Amino acid sequence: MRVDQLAAMRLFVRIVETGSFGRAARALHMSSSNATERVARLEETLGVRLLARTTRAVAPTEAGTRYYEVCRRVLNDLDEIEASLTDSREALTGKVRVSANISVARSILIPRLPQWYSQHPGIHLELVMSDQRSDFVRDSIDFAVRIGGLEDQDLVLRPLGRPRRVTVASPAYLRQMGRPQNPEDLSKHRLIDFLLPQPGAQLEWEFESDGKRCELHPPSVASVSDADARLQLAIAGVGIVQSLSFIAAPALLDGKLERVLTAWETHAPEVSILYPRDRHLPTRILATMDTFTAWIREALSDSRTV
């Protein structure tokens, strides 16, 4: 098989997966006109039309769908063979692009990255901090770290653990305002809420005791969309915050915050690593994924004991 044909096959697969000549061309660092010309030559060589084009979208024809499945298998097999022939030193070089929830990135990943860079100088890590769903193809994401489950059925999920929801306040605030004894007492306190991106949407404060779960939305004095900023306000004595255990852990260890309502704490959604089911993962990606897995599991385990 010729090298130019393999390149055309990779381009065709990317066009089908992105639904766009332009996005595929940008991902492969070529012009849209070059991509169009290559696909036209591929169709001419095969003697069939592979893509149906409209003004708004590109979709594979029936023949294109069959050819896409063949191309994906061939390219996956080729990638695996090439990876197996690469020695361990060369395997740990190149780019790894990761999407992670902002709170996980700030609290767990970024503090440990200096050690990572010293151990893996050949890996260029791109960390996309976002709480939005990942488009693995469009954004060229190798794997994602997410709080709260599977985003798509074509993704593999690696569960890492469940943090706890902790309700916290500063010692100064508790001396001034008193310590709530049950969730209903929160109506008498100054609360700092989590601001959701949708206007008017509110995030309930969740509690559980003796198997009974309750969701409250007591009045708040402020709403903030950033988890770290909310904790800083709590540390400053502004009010009470409900957070995730791994985010609050450093301030709890330092004595800047104290947990309240511990008997009513609940588990938050699972933290997981997600990656495309049918994509070959080179050694550098697997090594990064395994390291992040160990970091996150350790952080979640340690935060449960604070």
Stated pTM of the model: 0.70
Whether residue 186 contacts residue 218, with contact meaning beta carbons closer than 8 Å, is answered with yes
**Which pLDDT belongs to residue 149?**
63
Residue 189's nearest CA partner among 205, 209, 200 is 205
**Which pLDDT belongs to residue 3?**
59
Alpha carbon distance 42, 269 (integer Å): 47
Beta pairing partners, 274: 144, 157
Alpha carbon distance 41, 35 (integer Å): 10
The mean per-residue pLDDT over the stretch 57-73 comes to 88
202 Cα distance to chain centroid? 23
Alpha carbon distance 236, 90 (integer Å): 49
**Which pLDDT belongs to residue 85?**
61
Angle between helices 283-303 and 245-253 (to 10 degrees): 60
**Which pLDDT belongs to residue 172?**
96
How many residues comprise the chain?
306
Averaged confidence pLDDT in the chain: 86
Alpha carbon distance 100, 274 (integer Å): 10
**Which pLDDT belongs to residue 86?**
56
Which has the higher per-residue pLDDT, 194 or 177? Answer: 177
Whether residue 108 contacts residue 299, with contact meaning beta carbons closer than 8 Å, is answered with yes
Beta pairing partners, 168: 241, 259
Q: The dihedral of CA 18, 22, 23, 25: what is its sign?
A: positive
The mean per-residue pLDDT over the stretch 250-273 comes to 93
**Which pLDDT belongs to residue 222?**
87
pLDDT-based confidence at residue 295 (cuts at 50, 70, 90): very high
* pLDDT at 87 exceeding the cut of 60: no
**Which pLDDT belongs to residue 93?**
83
Whether residue 92 contacts residue 121, with contact meaning beta carbons closer than 8 Å, is answered with no
200 Cα distance to chain centroid? 25
Helices vs. strands in the chain: H and E counts, helices first: 11, 15
CB-CB neighbours of 55 under 10 Å:
4
Work out the end-to-end distance of the chain between its first and last CA atoms, rounded to an integer number of angstroms. Answer: 59
User: Over the stretch 204-245, which tens digit does the pLDDT of each residue have?
Assistant: 888 988 777 888 887 888 888 888 999 999 999 999 999 999
CB-CB neighbours of 195 under 10 Å:
18
Alpha carbon distance 135, 105 (integer Å): 18
**Strand, helix or coil for residue 264:** helix
The mean per-residue pLDDT over the stretch 273-300 comes to 88
Domains located in the chain, CATH noted: 3-84 (1.10.10.10), 90-162+270-303 (3.40.190.10), 164-266 (3.40.190.290)
> If residue 172 lies in a helix (H) or strand (E), which one and from where to where?
helix 171-177
The mean per-residue pLDDT over the stretch 163-167 comes to 93
The mean per-residue pLDDT over the stretch 164-192 comes to 93
Alpha carbon distance 213, 48 (integer Å): 60
Whether residue 49 contacts residue 64, with contact meaning beta carbons closer than 8 Å, is answered with yes
Pairing state of beta strands 94-100 and 143-147?
parallel
> If residue 212 lies in a helix (H) or strand (E), which one and from where to where?
strand 212-216
Report DSSP state, residue 188. Answer: G
The mean per-residue pLDDT over the stretch 107-112 comes to 94
Highest mean pLDDT among 66-75, 128-137, 273-282, 288-297: 288-297
